[in-house]
Structure 1
Amino acid sequence: MFPVLHTDRLVLRELTVNDAQAILNCFSNPDVLRHYGQNSLTSLDQVRLIINNFSKSYEEKCGIKWGIELKGQAGIIGTIGFQEWSTEHKRAEISYALFPESWGKGYALEAVNKVISFGFQEMELVRIGAIVLTENDASNKLLTKAGFEKEGVLKKYIHQNNVSYNTYVYSLIN
């Protein structure tokens, strides 16, 4: 059964096909993608396939992705989750994206803290990593606030829109 997580203001729940339009809107928005390291999503069919893949990833214990909802309001304001989950090595990488209208309100930190707690306690992770474009000031500040330590730079690690970007590597150790 997919774990539903609650914070003071948020519900983190499984993504469904009903979220497809919201995900398409988010991940086709140039402001969101500017620092995300992926190309724009282009169709609802593409999003439905991605949602299906998230479900498979959880079943296979190699990833988990939640939709972020405000308590008492239907519809997601973003996504958060782990990919590159290795039960053998007890590690995963965290990633998150919020819709621009939800930026600057502390929702990302609230969700990140809850997911970190879940990762360490329920998934028995020892290490949570993060890869962030060096230019992504908001995300770099958020990870530092959440207790992550910057380990180094991966040069030309992410290629997006015909440009290669350097990234910081972060870790949080339980």
Structure 2
Amino acid sequence: MFPTLETERLRLRELSDEDAPAVLHCFSDAEVLRYYGQKPLTSIEQVKQIIEHFSRSFEEKRGIKWGIELKAEGNIIGTIGLQEWSSEHQRADISYALFPEAWGKGYAKEAVSQVISFGFDELRLKRIGAVVFVENHASNRLLTNAGFVKEGTLRNYMYQNEVPYDTHIYSLLKTY
């Protein structure tokens, strides 16, 4: 059973084909993808295949991806997930993307906090990692404020539009 998580303002829920237009809107936006290391999505069919991939990833316990929904409005404002999930090694990496109109309102902080709790409490992770473009100041600040520790810089680690970018690698370890 796919877990639905809730915060004061957000519902993190499984994505469905009905969410494909919103996901396409998010992941075809150059501003959203500026620091994401992904080419823009171009079609609803492509998005539906990705949503199916997310579903298989969860079934196979390799990752979990939620749609971030505003409770008050019922609309998707982005995605958040844990990928590279390894039960054996008790770790996963977190990633998230929000529509530009949702930036600066604390939604990412709220969603990240909830997913961290879920990862440590329900998935029994001992480490949650993150890889972030050096230039993505908002995300670097969010992770630091959430307690993540910068472990180093990976040079030319991600490419965006054929341009190499350095990234910071972060980790958050479960404390007892």
Alignment of 1:152-167 (within 5 A): 152-167=152-167
Alignment of 1:63-102 (within 5 A): 63-102=63-102
- Aligned partners of 2:44 and 2:168: how far apart in 1? 32
Check conservation: 2:154, 2:168, Cα contact below 8 A. yes
Cα shift at 1:139: 0.3
1:47 partner amino acid: V
Structure 2 equivalent of residue 45 of structure 1: 45
Structure 2 equivalent of residue 107 of structure 1: 107
How many residues align structurally?
Answer: 174
Deviations along 1:90-131, one digit per CA (max 9) or x if unpaired, are 000000000000000000000000000000000000000000
TM-score by length of 1: 0.99
What 5-or-longer segments of structure 2 have no aligned partner? none
Alignment of 1:1-174 (within 5 A): 1-174=1-174
1:167 partner amino acid: T
Check conservation: 2:37, 2:160, Cα contact below 8 A. yes
Check conservation: 2:35, 2:160, Cα contact below 8 A. no
Cα shift at 1:72: 2.8
Cα shift at 1:159: 1.3
TM-score by length of 2: 0.98
What 5-or-longer segments of structure 1 have no aligned partner? none
Deviations along 1:51-100, one digit per CA (max 9) or x if unpaired, are 00000000000000000011132220010000100010000000000000
- Aligned partners of 2:14 and 2:30: how far apart in 1? 25
